[in-house]
């Protein structure tokens, strides 16, 4: 039994029917034409194979007197991999539209806490012959970086490689890596772990106090200064997902001409798209929208060992949606991110996590539905950037043509935009509640327009 660290436990404590706290990965593969039917059968057999399952995929959450009611991970001795994996066919005509509707419905459903918190679907029936793998995993076990590492770990850059494996099985020849979760399984371990964390936080109180002051004054971001928008409504239990990708070179070119990062350019694309979307609804506020931008404390190397747990800080980015000039919006994003990341780098990892737990707690206040919503939201939405690989990958000869992240939303943040670099494209995955964010797919058109405007401006 392993105790769940505080930052991970927040995703268990804050979950409800209206606020599922899992994340999903959507991969689309093109089977080899010369052995398509056999490949499909072999692929399904690899998905349900019960051997070499990673420890993070064999644990379920429990609470007991021995941990004083705290959440802990307990091995599931009755794990049945085949019960976690389904094979589904899309209805005709099998367009990408039907696939995204299916992913939206799958993403709306809670994971079963009586067993390990993951499930997957092999989805056939796409009209162009491709097949999708949809993998859903709980955020208490995986942040964006760890999720990406699990997704790519069993794939190959060589189309001739055989013996590839899905995210929940250890790659051939790789030994199990130690869990990243802290603590043990007894009340004594709980006290020791809590005391150790408290000691670290107390030692970093001056830095934490300074960081909180920076949050309040706007050096790390502008907490509770975001204008109220429809993105801050309470949620229904339904979800919608939309995604598209653009040539990574286009974002790189804009970044190179302005001294910004590629992530800054992606944020500026989001800024322009959000501005246009709200303007179309007649709801564009006079103040700029503010986004929470997660920053990994683990590094961004996707080839590193895939572990579990959350380890990230956050920066509040002023998006400049109140500015009509796309170049000015990019400059605002660049300045806000540079300032916020500099302040975050000044904190040690323990203080960064403590600050993040505190700010996540503030952002999660709307999920406590017995309390009134604050007059102003902490942030308007979350925008993150998850690295993948710069070269295409293969599963036993089938090319992974598309790779999309499907993130979680919650009361107070009804829209999440996640960027993911895969091969030569930058994918944008948009997850939202259809009640608060109707016609989500229109944001994709606005993203395309925003990138064009940035290219023209620079």
Would residue 183 count as lying in a domain?
Answer: no
Would residue 416 count as lying in a domain?
Answer: yes
Query: How far is the C-alpha of 382 from the C-alpha of 88, rounded, in Å?
Result: 31
- Nearest CA to 110 out of 209, 14, 201 is that of 14
Is residue 132 domain-shared with residue 218, that is, in the same domain? no
Would residue 186 count as lying in a domain?
Answer: no
Would residue 427 count as lying in a domain?
Answer: yes
Is residue 450 domain-shared with residue 363, that is, in the same domain? yes
Confidence at residue 377, expressed as pLDDT on a 0 to 100 scale: 82
Confidence at residue 303, expressed as pLDDT on a 0 to 100 scale: 57
Query: How far is the C-alpha of 420 from the C-alpha of 433, rounded, in Å?
Result: 21
Query: How far is the C-alpha of 374 from the C-alpha of 151, rounded, in Å?
Result: 37
Catalytic member of 84, 107, 139, 150: 139
CATH value at residue 360: 3.30.559.30
Q: Give 292's strand partners.
A: 316, 382
Domain boundary among the residues 153, 188, 212 is at: 153
Q: Within 13 Å of residue 411, how many CA atoms lie on the same side as its CB?
A: 21
Is residue 139 domain-shared with residue 213, that is, in the same domain? no
**Predicted model pTM:** 0.86
Percent of the chain with pLDDT over 90: 64
**Which alpha helices (DSSP H) does 170-317 contain, by range?**
187-203, 205-217, 248-258, 262-280
Average pLDDT over the chain, rounded to whole?
A: 85
| Residue 357, number of CB atoms within 10 A of its CB | 16
pLDDT of 25 > 60? The answer is: yes
Cα end-to-end distance, the chain, whole Å: 55
For residue 330, name the pLDDT band (cuts at 50, 70, 90). very high
CATH value at residue 70: 3.30.559.10
pLDDT of 280 > 80? The answer is: yes
Question: Cis bond leading into 93, ω under 30°?
Answer: yes
Is residue 139 domain-shared with residue 212, that is, in the same domain? no
Is residue 246 domain-shared with residue 137, that is, in the same domain? no
For residue 147, name the pLDDT band (cuts at 50, 70, 90). confident
Confidence at residue 177, expressed as pLDDT on a 0 to 100 scale: 47
Query: Structurally, how many domains does the chain consist of?
Result: 2
- Nearest CA to 18 out of 439, 369, 374, 361 is that of 369
Confidence at residue 214, expressed as pLDDT on a 0 to 100 scale: 52
Q: 156 or 369: which carries more pLDDT confidence?
A: 156
Is residue 14 domain-shared with residue 110, that is, in the same domain? yes
- Sheet of 22-30, strand order: 85-89, 118-124, 131-138, 22-30, 398-406, 394-395
- Annotated catalytic residue 139: yes
Would residue 180 count as lying in a domain?
Answer: no
Query: Residue 146 sits in which domain range?
Result: 2-153
DSSP of 356-401: HHHHHHHHTGGG-TTSPPPSS-S-SEEEEEEE--SS--EETTEEEE
Is residue 250 domain-shared with residue 375, that is, in the same domain? yes
Domain boundary among the residues 153, 187, 221 is at: 153
Would residue 396 count as lying in a domain?
Answer: no
Confidence at residue 383, expressed as pLDDT on a 0 to 100 scale: 96
Confidence at residue 216, expressed as pLDDT on a 0 to 100 scale: 52
Rounded to a whole number, what is the largest CA-CA distance in the chain? 64
Is the distance from CB of 378 to CB of 223 less than 8 angstroms? yes
Is residue 144 domain-shared with residue 263, that is, in the same domain? no
Is residue 134 domain-shared with residue 209, that is, in the same domain? no
Q: Using alpha carbons only, what angle is made at residue 267 by residues 416 and 331, rounded to the nearest 5 degrees?
A: 150
Is residue 135 domain-shared with residue 231, that is, in the same domain? no
For residue 178, name the pLDDT band (cuts at 50, 70, 90). very low
Would residue 158 count as lying in a domain?
Answer: no
Lowest-pLDDT choice from 238-242, 286-290, 307-311, 376-380: 307-311
Q: 214 or 81: which carries more pLDDT confidence?
A: 81
Query: How far is the C-alpha of 370 from the C-alpha of 207, rounded, in Å?
Result: 33
What average pLDDT does the segment 231-240 reach? 92
Is residue 216 domain-shared with residue 293, that is, in the same domain? yes
Query: How far is the C-alpha of 173 from the C-alpha of 167, rounded, in Å?
Result: 15
Pairing mode, strands 425-432 and 415-422:
antiparallel
Confidence at residue 180, expressed as pLDDT on a 0 to 100 scale: 40
Is residue 243 domain-shared with residue 383, that is, in the same domain? yes
Query: How far is the C-alpha of 181 from the C-alpha of 118, rounded, in Å?
Result: 18
Is the distance from CB of 54 to CB of 46 less than 8 angstroms? no
pLDDT of 434 > 70? The answer is: yes
Would residue 166 count as lying in a domain?
Answer: no
Domain boundary among the residues 114, 138, 153 is at: 153
Q: Within 13 Å of residue 451, how many CA atoms lie on the same side as its CB?
A: 20
């Amino acid at each position: 039994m392993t105790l769940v660290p505080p930052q991970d436990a927040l995703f268990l404590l804050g979950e409800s029917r209206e606020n599922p706290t899992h994340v999903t990965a959507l991969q689309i593969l093109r089977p080899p034409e010369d052995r398509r039917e056999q490949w499909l059968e072999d692929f399904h057999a690899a998905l349900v194979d019960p051997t070499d399952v990673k420890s993070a995929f064999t644990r379920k959450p429990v609470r007991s007197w021995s941990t004083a009611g705290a959440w802990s991970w307990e091995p599931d001795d009755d794990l049945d991999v085949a019960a976690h994996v389904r094979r589904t066919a899309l209805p005709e005509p099998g367009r990408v539209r039907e696939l995204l509707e299916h992913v939206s419905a799958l993403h709306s459903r809670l994971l079963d806490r009586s067993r390990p918190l993951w499930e997957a679907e092999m989805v056939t029936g796409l009209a162009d012959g491709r097949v999708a793998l949809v993998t859903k995993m709980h955020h208490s076990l995986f942040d964006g970086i760890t999720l990406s590492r699990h997704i790519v770990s069993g794939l190959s850059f060589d189309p001739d490689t055989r013996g590839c494996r899905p995210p929940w099985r250890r790659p051939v020849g790789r030994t199990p890596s130690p869990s990243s979760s802290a603590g043990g399984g007894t009340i004594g371990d709980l006290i020791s772990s809590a005391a150790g964390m408290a000691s670290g936080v107390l030692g970093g109180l001056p830095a934490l106090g300074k960081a909180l002051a920076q949050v309040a004054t706007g050096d790390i971001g502008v907490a509770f200064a975001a204008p109220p928008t429809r993105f801050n409504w309470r949620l229904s239990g339904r979800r919608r997902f939309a995604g598209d990708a653009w040539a990574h070179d286009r974002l790189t070119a804009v970044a190179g001409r302005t001294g910004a990062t590629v992530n800054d350019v992606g944020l500026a694309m989001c800024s322009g798209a959000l501005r246009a979307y709200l303007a179309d609804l007649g709801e564009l506020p006079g103040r700029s929208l503010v986004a929470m931008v997660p920053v990994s404390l683990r590094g961004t190397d996707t080839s590193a060992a895939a572990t579990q747990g959350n380890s990230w800080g956050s920066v509040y980015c002023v998006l400049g949606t109140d500015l009509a000039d796309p170049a000015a919006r990019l400059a605002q994003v660049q300045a806000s991110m540079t300032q916020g990341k500099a302040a975050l780098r000044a904190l040690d990892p323990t203080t960064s996590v403590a600050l993040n737990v505190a700010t996540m707690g503030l952002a999660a206040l709307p999920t406590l539905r017995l309390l009134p919503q604050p007059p102003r939201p902490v942030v308007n939405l979350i925008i993150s950037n998850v690295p993948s690989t710069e070269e295409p990958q293969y599963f036993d000869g089938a090319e992974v043509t598309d790779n999309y992240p499907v993130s979680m939303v919650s009361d107070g943040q009804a829209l999440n935009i996640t960027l993911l670099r895969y091969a030569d494209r930058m994918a944008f995955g948009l997850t939202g509640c259809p009640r608060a964010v109707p016609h989500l797919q229109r944001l994709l058109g606005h993203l395309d327009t925003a990138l064009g405007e940035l290219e023209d401006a620079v």
